[in-house]
Structure formats: C-alpha cells, structure tokens
Amino acid sequence: MALGWLKQGIARYFGRDGDAALPLYNAVVLRAREPHWYLDGAVPDTVDGRFDMIAAVLSLVLIRLEASPEGAGPAARITERFVTDMDGQLRELGIGDIVVGKHIGRMMAMLGGRLTAYREGLAGGAETMDAALVRNLYRGEAPTDRQAVPHVREALRTLHDRLADVPLARLTLGELP
C-alpha cells in the first residue's frame, strides 16, 4: 500500500492505533477545561492560560504515575501524547514547520519546570504552592480576586490526594477522580 505510512501517521495522531495514553490524556484536558478554573480560579481563558492549566493537571498525573513502579511507561506515553497534541495545536495556530520544534522544546521545558514547581508546592505548605501557582499558572502576576489562588490550590491538592487512591490500571483508562 503506497500510502500506508500516511494512514499510520493519521491513525497515530488521532489515537486509532490503540494509543493507550489517549483516554488519560483526554481526561487531563477535560479536567483542565472545567469552568471553575477560569471562573473561580481566575486562570486566564486564553491559549496560554489553557496550556498552563493542562500543564498543571498533567503535572499532577505525572507525579502520581512516578509514585508507581509501573508508572514509567504510562508517564512516557502521556508525555508523548502531550507533545503530539501541542504540535497539532501550534500548527492549527499557523506556526510553520521550521519553528514548531523550537516551540515544542520550550513547552517541554515549561512542563518540566511546572512539574518540579508543583512537586515542591505539594510537598511544602500553602505559601509554597501559592508561589508556584502565581509563577507558573498566572505567569507571575497574582489575580486581583484574593480567593482565586486558594481555590486553585485546594482543587489541585484535592486532585493530587484523590489520584493517590486510583489504581494505575483505572488511571490509565482515563479515570480521574
């Protein structure tokens, strides 16, 4: 079949090749798009704000996966799915082939930085987590609504705590508590 490689690429991008990370990644994106983050949490409902919220929820999922010896494979697959999604989003925004790789590299560095910041924030107290949120979710400028950061902090802490109770098999099927 002359176009077999194209069909495989399309299937891989859209998850028709049995992509085990797709249900979990879709659940992460759906969770990150919940209105309360943007209304009560004052996360900017912009391209950057949506990226930051996906990165926050994905970071918590990756932290949960790294707590399990069997979590390395699913963590790698969901990270690959994130890269695939971000690549597609950039192209949809009109970013050309030559520059996409640089943007993806920056996004991966941003995800890594957020993963570290949220890991430290969860291990520290409210002040540590709030500082991580202001720096990474609000891009350095705290929202004027004084209840926004505590709302996001508590919602993320609750998600983190509940993720610990979800068996890995159910988590990889996209079950977020």
Asked whether residue 177 is assigned to any structural domain, the reply reads no
Asked whether residue 9 is assigned to any structural domain, the reply reads no
Asked whether residue 11 is assigned to any structural domain, the reply reads no
Cβ neighbors of 67 (< 8 A, separation 6 or more) are: 164
Asked whether residue 67 is assigned to any structural domain, the reply reads yes
Asked whether residue 153 is assigned to any structural domain, the reply reads yes
**Residues 62-85, mean pLDDT to the nearest whole number:** 92
Asked whether residue 122 is assigned to any structural domain, the reply reads yes
Asked whether residue 32 is assigned to any structural domain, the reply reads yes
Q: Tens digit of pLDDT for each residue in 1-54? A: 444 444 444 444 444 444 889 999 999 999 999 999 999 999 999 988 998 999
Q: Tens digit of pLDDT for each residue in 98-153? A: 665 676 667 777 788 899 999 999 999 999 999 999 999 999 999 999 999 999 99
Compute the distance between CA of residue 153 and CA of residue 129 in angstroms, rounded to an integer: 7
Asked whether residue 90 is assigned to any structural domain, the reply reads yes
Q: Domain residues for 141?
A: 19-172
Name the domain count of the chain: 1
